[in-house]
Amino acid sequence: MPTSSNGVAATLERGSLARLMRARSVAIVGASNSNPWSMLVASTLKALAFPGPVHLINKRGSPALGRETMASCTAIGEPVDAAFIVVPAEGVGDALRDMAEAGIRQGVLVTSGFAETGAEGAAEQARVFALARELGLTLLGPNSVGFANFVDRVGLGALPLRLPVTVGGVGVVSQSGATCGQMVRFAQQQDIGLSYAIATGNEAMVDLADLVDFLAGDEATRAIAVFAETIRSPERFAEGALRALVAGKPLAVLKVGRGALSAEVAKAHTGALVGDDRVFDAVCRELGVIRVDSLELLLQTSQLLASTGRLNGKGFAVASISGGACEMTADLGEAAGVRFTRLAAPTLERLGAALPAFGHANNPLDVTGDAMRDPTLFERSLQTMGEDPDVGLLGCIFDLPIGDSDVSPVTKVMLENIARGLAAAPCPTVLIEQTLGNRGVAGAAVIKDLGLPVVIGGIDYAMRAVGHAMQWSRNAVRPVVPPAPPPAPHVGGRPVSERQVLDYLGSRGVPVISATVAATRDQAVAAARAVDGPVVLKILSPDIQHKTEAGGLALDLADDAAVAAAFDAIMASVALKVPGARIEGVVVSPMRRGGVELLVGVARDPSWGLVMALGLGGVWVELLNEAALGRLPVTPDQAGELIGQTRAGILLAGYRGAQAADLDAVRKAIAAIGDAALALGPDLMSLEVNPLWVSGGAVECLDALAIWKD
């Protein structure tokens, strides 16, 4: 298992990472004809036409890669920005000392055989990186295939790259070297422009969070695409994600470990602590991170947003020559959350005038087969749609020519009309192919010649990418709320029993059901008299956890006689079932029924800290298997969002004529529960209020449970 680290941001300034990523002179330490990694990196540097000097270091000074080598970095005799270290594991220490002595402060450690091989390797990794820190080095890896910076043509990577790669705005980061290569491969097939491709390896020092932070600040990068297996430094990842959001750069993440099976597989091969995956979903929602499930969608969504930038909240309008494509687009778009423009009456009128008699002005728009005869139908329709006041993204569905073949004259004229129609739009535009296929030579030429916008295929992935882009764009305008100051820590003893927890919550401003302690039958009757309506009696004893099993609970007691009898019955039962228990009396509370019962739970996630889970309580919570999650602290506004994510929102709004709840009070109570949990400090494992009872304006915790470490 990899050792955890505080990442480079905690130990080194951002500048050192930038110097690594934009190195202007490099050394390959361990260059040798028998070392495939050194050959790969050399060919990558060559293929990228790296403009700076490349020094080859070979301990024995033997020639390598067709050139002379030097025996050490210190022999170079001029400043070098970064080293690519491919020496065997046992030689890494010496190599690091040599590079430090030569003043090389940055590097990629390709060498494997460290934490990924087990406990022994992890210990060795810890030793090596302690040395690296001591020497003031910034290292990517170990067990990293390195990176390519396509903008500055720095290829310190042994990625299986087939060049050329189109240079563009998508920065790729991957915790898997193989997947990094696959992402570049798919980008090439789709002609998706990349700024960086970075494989993080074991992340002993520089981790995902550092690289997200770096790319968020990188000028050439307009969207960040991440493949992640584990988030090693959650807090810094969150900071990086927010930095990207503030910079207007979408961050899309494919994080594996969603299902039970992959969690198992991951555990086996990385030993990473795998929490409940839905927590990461909630974190993504909070941070405006786009979460996707496939590499295709990861890159296509990034590609789309790198081209369009933030969308303005208006709808999507799209035209096609195929009615079938229009219908598929409508179906898949709706399912993916794409908002389609309801075209305005004047737009429909103009489209109607342009279309043949049997056409229908609509969105998605079928321009009809008449566009074969009169290709200007495409240009005119697209121009008209683009001018509609509610169109924020304009698309056209049309397939580019396959492979290397020439474009047929008919197709060419149609594409020219489409390009003009899209270019006339005052909003971002996209060309969508019906099915996903490689961008062939002919297709790439068309895109270039006609200055076509971003091209995505097929309709399925394109609609999901547009859906994500719209969702992200909505999130991106949400003001980033500075985190509330943490609540004052609790100073007394740990609340443990139900009574203690309820009293504690009450002291923290959480509305709790009224309760009177009664030590005797007469006190119980008197307390019950003071309550309007029937009451509940609960045994009060530090030694009794399971009240129901002990016979320590009596419900719906309507008069003195019932209360007195219940008191006696409880005392008799408890004496029988839990002999020796210290009995402090009973708690008398009003009986509650009807209303809506919420479950408000707080639990500690190993990565993300205290997380709130909110849903309908009682029979509902398991039957619906529905809970909204959010990291603490949760503000009242955020509590309202959580409510809205579950069916609790429907019931609280006064479903089917039932009285609507005082939502403001509910939101405040939920936020107060979260703050109360936070104030209990790091030993609290979970705190659950079930139910939080809501009926009209009344909001009350009826029951609560806290679980502590140990």
User: What Cα–Cα distance (Å) separates residue 225 from each residue in 34, 199, 307, 308?
Assistant: 34, 12, 14, 16
Query: Distance between CA 134 and CA 420 in Å, rounded?
Result: 60
Residues in region 334-353 near a copy of itself by CB under 8 A: 334-335, 340
- Residue number, 355 or 701, with CB nearest to a copy of itself: 355
- Residue number, 90 or 334, with CB nearest to a copy of itself: 334
Residues in region 423-452 near a copy of itself by CB under 8 A: 434-438, 440
> How long is the chain?
710
Residues in region 156-195 near a copy of itself by CB under 8 A: 162, 174-176, 178-179, 182, 185-186, 188-189
- Residue number, 144 or 475, with CB nearest to a copy of itself: 144
Give the residue ranges of DSSP H helices in 135-217: 177-190, 208-216
Chain Cα centroid distance, residue 105: 32
| Site stretch for a copy of itself (CB under 8 A), options 114-122, 208-216, 305-313, 420-428 | 114-122
- Determine the size of the site formed for a copy of itself (CB under 8 A): 82
CB of 121 to a copy of itself, least distance (A): 8
Residues in region 368-407 near a copy of itself by CB under 8 A: 369, 399, 402-403, 405
CB of 506 to a copy of itself, least distance (A): 29
- If one asks whether residue 645 binds a copy of itself (CB under 8 A), the answer comes out as no
Crossing angle of helices 323-335 and 459-476, in 10° steps, is 40
CB of 177 to a copy of itself, least distance (A): 8
CB 536 within 8 A of CB 555: yes
CB of 259 to a copy of itself, least distance (A): 4
Query: Distance between CA 364 and CA 361 in Å, rounded?
Result: 9
- If one asks whether residue 655 binds a copy of itself (CB under 8 A), the answer comes out as yes
Dihedral, 266, 269, 274, 278 alpha carbons, nearest 10: -10
The dihedral sign for the CA sequence 27, 33, 34, 38: positive
- Residue number, 130 or 402, with CB nearest to a copy of itself: 402
Cβ-defined contacts of 544-551 (< 8 Å, 24+): 544/574, 544/578, 544/581, 549/577, 550/574, 550/577, 550/578, 551/576, 551/577
User: What Cα–Cα distance (Å) separates residue 454 from each residue in 307, 457, 629?
Assistant: 6, 10, 35
Detail the DSSP E strand segments found in 519-608: 535-540, 553-557, 585-590, 596-605
Looking at 53, 63, 88, 118, which residue binds a copy of itself (CB under 8 A)? Answer: 118
CB of 4 to a copy of itself, least distance (A): 19
- Structure-token match 């992890």, residue found: 122
CB of 486 to a copy of itself, least distance (A): 35
* DSSP string for 354-374: HS-TT----SSEE--THHHH-
Q: Give the per-residue contact string, 295-334, with a copy of itself (x = CB under 8 A; - = no).
A: xxx-----------------------xxxxxxxx-xxxxx
Residues in region 512-551 near a copy of itself by CB under 8 A: none
CB of 36 to a copy of itself, least distance (A): 9
- Residue number, 230 or 497, with CB nearest to a copy of itself: 230
Residues in region 663-692 near a copy of itself by CB under 8 A: none
Q: Give the per-residue contact string, 219-258, with a copy of itself (x = CB under 8 A; - = no).
A: --------x-x------------------------x-xxx
**What angle is formed at CA 381 by the lines to CA 377 and CA 386, rounded to 5 degrees?**
150
- Residue number, 477 or 624, with CB nearest to a copy of itself: 624
CB of 132 to a copy of itself, least distance (A): 23
Looking at 193, 458, 585, 615, which residue binds a copy of itself (CB under 8 A)? Answer: 458
CB of 496 to a copy of itself, least distance (A): 27
- Residue number, 10 or 441, with CB nearest to a copy of itself: 441
Looking at 650, 665, 698, 705, which residue binds a copy of itself (CB under 8 A)? Answer: 650
Looking at 219, 619, 709, 710, which residue binds a copy of itself (CB under 8 A)? Answer: 619
Looking at 60, 219, 269, 409, which residue binds a copy of itself (CB under 8 A)? Answer: 269
- Structure-token match 């030429």, residue found: 445
Query: Distance between CA 173 and CA 601 in Å, rounded?
Result: 35
- Structure-token match 């240079």, residue found: 167
Q: How many CA atoms does the CB half-sphere of 306 hold within 13 Å?
A: 30
Question: Which of 577, 578, 573, 533 is CA-nearest to residue 555?
Answer: 533
